[in-house]
Amino acid sequence: MITLSALGSFALIVGLLTLTPGLDTALILRTAAVGHRRRAWGVVAGIQTGTLVWGVLSSLGITALLTASHLAYTALRWAGAAYLVWMGCRILIPALRRRGGAESGSADAPEDAPETGGFRAGWRRGLVTNLLNPKMGAFYVAVLPQFIPAGAPHVATGTLLACVHIVFATVWAAVLIAFARALRTTLQKASARRVLDRVTGTVIAAFGVRLALGD
């Protein structure tokens, strides 16, 4: 059985990982800031579903095969990179096309079209984003086995550890959504929305490029 000391050490590692700004932070903040609260929680649920999948697969040793297979890892890396660049450009390009004079509320309508859908659409986006990130698999392969004691049931213990990660990430996501909602009035102004979308789209696309380059 896993000890409280090992559980605490794992919680510290995933806690620091959760607090580090990254793709998940950008995706959650942007979705919540533009007013899609249910969709934002869908994104959170999708990301954490992906985390649970990675945890279970790592416990079964399947992700070790992924990282050991150069071809499989490369294919997943390129698929993830292409998806992130596509998603980033989908946010960024409409924001760049909008002119400074387009300050009316109607200016946001074309951009909101691709964002239709509620919780389920957000869940799909969060899940796909997480599962197409091979670095999540690599992280779990490198870290998870170190905290599973010899003789302990691998799947049950690995799932427990993944759930610890999920709890930390969900609490932090709630803070991010509350922050974004508090600033929603400001962030939904046309000028602020353009800046938000340009920054978010650039960050997401940059993550895709970085993943493609293998950094």
Give the pLDDT score at 122. 93
Structure tokens at 73: 């890892």
Give the pLDDT score at 70. 72
Q: Minimum mean pLDDT among 69-73, 123-127, 153-157, 172-176: which range? A: 69-73
Give the pLDDT score at 195. 82
- State pLDDT tens for residues 6-41: 788 889 999 888 888 888 888 998 888 887 789 999
Cβ atoms of 70 and 58 within 8 Å: the answer is: no
Structure tokens at 66: 């992924």
Rounded Cα distance, 39 and 117, in Å = 7
Give the pLDDT score at 75. 79
Mean predicted lDDT score pLDDT of the chain: 81
Q: Residue 57, CB half-sphere, CA atoms under 13 Å: how many?
A: 20
> Of 194, 188, 200, whose CA–CA distance to 100 is shortest?
194
- State pLDDT tens for residues 96-138: 876 544 444 433 433 344 455 689 999 999 999 998 887 787 7
Burial status of residue 97 (CB atoms within 10 A of its CB: 0-12, 13-18, 19 or more): exposed
- State pLDDT tens for residues 54-92: 988 888 876 666 666 677 777 777 887 888 898 888 888
Could you give the C-alpha distances from 94 to 125, 133, 201, 209, in angstroms and in order?
A: 19, 25, 10, 20
- State pLDDT tens for residues 189-204: 777 778 878 888 888 8
Instruction: Please say if the pLDDT value at position 177 is more than 60.
Output: yes
Give the pLDDT score at 65. 63
